[in-house]
Amino acid sequence: MGQLVFSSWGREIIDNRQGGDGTSEIVQKKLPVTFDGERSMVAFMGWDGIIVADPEVDVVAMAAEYAKRVQEDYCCAKCSPGKKGTRVLQDTLARILNGEGEEKDLAEIEALADLLQNCKCTLCMTSAVPVLDTVKYFREDYLAYIRGERRPRPAEYKVKLTAPCQDKCPAHIDIPAYIEAIKDYRYDEALSVIRESMPLPAVCGRVCPHPCESACRRKNVDESINIMVLKRTASDYEWQHQQTPPMQPKPRKGKSVAIVGAGPAGLTTAYYLALEGYPVTIYEALPEGFGGGMIAVGIPAYRMPRHILQRDIDIICSMGVEIIYDTKVGEDISLMELKQKHDAVLLAPGAHKSKPMGVEGEKEGYSGFLAGGIEFLRDAYMGRPTGMGKRVCVVGGGNTAIDCVRVALREGAKDSILLYRRTRKEMPADVWEVDGADEEGVQFEFLVLPKKIIVDDNRQVTGVECVRMELGEPDDSGRRRPQPVEGSEFVVECDTLIPAIGQDPDLSFITEDTGIEITRWNTVVTKFVPQKNLVGRDLNDEMGNPLTRILLTDMDGVFASGDAEIGPLTVVACVGNAHRAAKVIQRYFEEGEAYLTDDDFHEDILSHLGVYDKDEKVSWLDAIGRFDQHEIHGRERASAGNYNEVELGFSDQEAIKEAERCLRCYRVSMIAV
């Protein structure tokens, strides 16, 4: 935003209306100066107060519009305080705005704010916060209206409904809505809500790292809602009861799309474009039966059963999507040929290439040193020889490394050992995945760094020389930087060494003649809308890329999404990114221009601001512990050849009880531009 005039955000009052330069760190760093790179953001109103950046903002008119939109567009009307209280608030502010108000109306607004604290959910309750702040801190503006001295000034407002969990979800699924439907045993409605933003509900109901749960306000009472498993519950209900998905694509349109890669990004973009009637052809390098990209060959079947994944893919194909397997773009067909055959192309090849480890001997072709964790998992899932022995060491601390050590046991390893240079606490892998590996008998060697591969006379790996590490000061990731301990070298015996320290997309099919630029992170450069915060810094993500990206490359009609655009992240991150890509491509077809809507910009602003407050004191009478899904326990679950699903989901009654814990934490955001 521009110069800060007034802020009550976070209950911190900063008032510069009479001069002064008081600042708020969250306003300075989290809110952009412009809404869309061009139009200035002059005020922000939401669940935690108001922020004004222009002294000419008509705060009274903005409060009246805010109350109107809350009541008419978002109030669920399921409780009397919310239904009636917001209507009275709307009418009272409208009366004041029309010059028909009285000073006693201000006291009524204050009383209504108290009444709204008794609402069924938090939407109407929190909507009273900024309105009350305007009455408290801009009272003279209200009195000027009441005395007939002011008339409303024209303004343009952008309004959006969100929730802490919904904001944190990369796909921005309306989580409170689908949980509410599950609570009422309306699984079909819950699944319809999910599919509005996510076409792979069975997948993300099993393998999502559920960042939404880290922003669940229920956590401020006892424990977060088990959001991921509730998604699985809705999806499983459909296939277990042999129900036919109700979606129907629109009539077939003339312009077609080619997609490189049948991973989560490619499938998502294909689904939403096919629903709009556009013919979509996906070109997939893997053979038939391995649709899903990294979901199929990078996530173990004990986490993601293949028949469940295939069902999600079959549903997408039933919308009119064609997948051509065994076709590698760059070898079997070129990118330029795709561009000639289709009206638009989406690049979504996934990250199927392991990063090198950087140890002595890794380029010597030793027997027992495998190319990488990604390749090892792919070979295992496709039934190919892995080259694995009986004592396996995996290097890394992420989810891929954990998958490798757990799969090694299922592939017949006697010992499966994880080598990681930090401690268990610093591992980027999901805690529950690390716990699963521990239960299955994986051995952990923490604070060790491989330095050299040890081999015998036959060039067979016999071990890896490591050095002990100690943690120093935090690095850019916030984790303490590991440093070698001098003279601490030792050897870990093994006959197989698998590096699993990261992965990259294979972008070799993007040739120089395309004009498409590749970043130093090996991702595709796409067009973006430059945004700066109040102190003049670019609003970037952790990779240094602008947050508000249009997903169009430098080659007209060629777009990028998923791991190739945002870097190797998660399935749900690829889905969210690809859903936006589908909407951008649709605009490109129908309007001749690829652009972002006001809703897209608003979504990005809220994501950067953050909707969840971990320090909020949430009072709730009925503290009920979280329900966790059933799980097969014991080391035998990791026996050789046993890829049976480990996590088993909820019963219907458990799902309903867990859904009842949801606090329905909707929020309404309004931006004046």
Residues 378-411 pLDDT 10s: 999 988 999 999 999 999 999 999 999 999 999 9
Indicate the pLDDT class of residue 596, thresholds 50, 70 and 90.
very high
Inform me whether the pLDDT recorded for 195 exceeds 90: yes
244: helix, coil or strand?
Answer: coil
What is the strand order of the sheet 415-420 is part of? 443-446, 415-420, 391-395, 496-499
For 627, other C-beta atoms within 10 Å of its C-beta total 21
Band (pLDDT 50/70/90 cuts) for residue 85 is confident
Whole-number pLDDT of residue 541: 58
Q: How remote is the C-alpha of 188 from its chain's centroid?
A: 23
The answer as to CATH 3.20.20.140 being correct for domain 257-352+509-594 is no
pLDDT confidence of residue 19: 83
Q: Do domains 6-161 and 356-503 have the same CATH topology?
A: no
Are the C-beta atoms of residues 60 and 134 closer than 8 Å to each other? yes
CATH for the 356-503 domain, from 3.40.395.10, 3.40.50.300, 3.90.800.10, 3.50.50.60: 3.50.50.60
* String of DSSP letters for 173-238: --HHHHHHHHHTT-HHHHHHHHHTT-S-HHHHTTS---GGGGG-GGGGTSS---HHHHHHHHHHHH
* 509 band by pLDDT with thresholds 50, 70 and 90: very high
Per-residue pLDDT of 144-175, as tens digits, reads 999 999 898 888 999 999 999 999 999 999 99
End-to-end CA distance of the chain: 10
Phi/psi for 208 (5° steps) reads -70, 140
Confidence (pLDDT) at 572: 94
Is residue 580 within 8 Å of 600, Cβ to Cβ? yes
**DSSP of 343-390, one letter per residue?**
SEEEE-----EEPP---BTTTS--BTB-S-HHHHHHHHHTT------S
Calpha distance 663→666 (Å, rounded):
9
Domain 166-235+612-659: give its CATH code: 1.10.1060.10
pLDDT band at 1 (very low <50, low <70, confident <90, very high): low
Residue 260 in tokens: 């490189």
pLDDT tens by residue, 465-487: 999 999 888 877 677 888 999 99
User: What's the CA gap between 345 and 281, in Å, rounded?
Assistant: 10
Is 437 within 8 Å of 402 (Cβ atoms)? yes
Give residue limits of the domains in the chain: 6-161, 166-235+612-659, 257-352+509-594, 356-503
Burial tier of 148 (Cβ tally within 10 Å: 0-12, 13-18, 19+)? exposed
Provide the CATH topology of domain 6-161: de novo design (two linked rop proteins) (1.20.1440)
The upper half-sphere exposure of residue 86, i.e. CA atoms within 13 Å in the direction of its Cβ, equals 30
For residue 347, give the nearest of 203, 589, 516, 527 by alpha carbon.
Answer: 516
pLDDT digits (tens, 9 = 90+) for 516-534: 999 888 899 998 887 877 6
* Selection from 268, 246, 174 nearest residue 575 by Cα: 268
Per-residue pLDDT at 476: 72
Tokens encoding 176:
């409170």
What is the arithmetic mean of pLDDT over 568-595? 94
Residue that is written with structure tokens 């629903």 in the block: 275
State whether residue 637 is helix, strand or coil: helix
The chain-wide mean pLDDT, for the chain, equals 91
Q: Residue 543's pLDDT is what?
A: 47
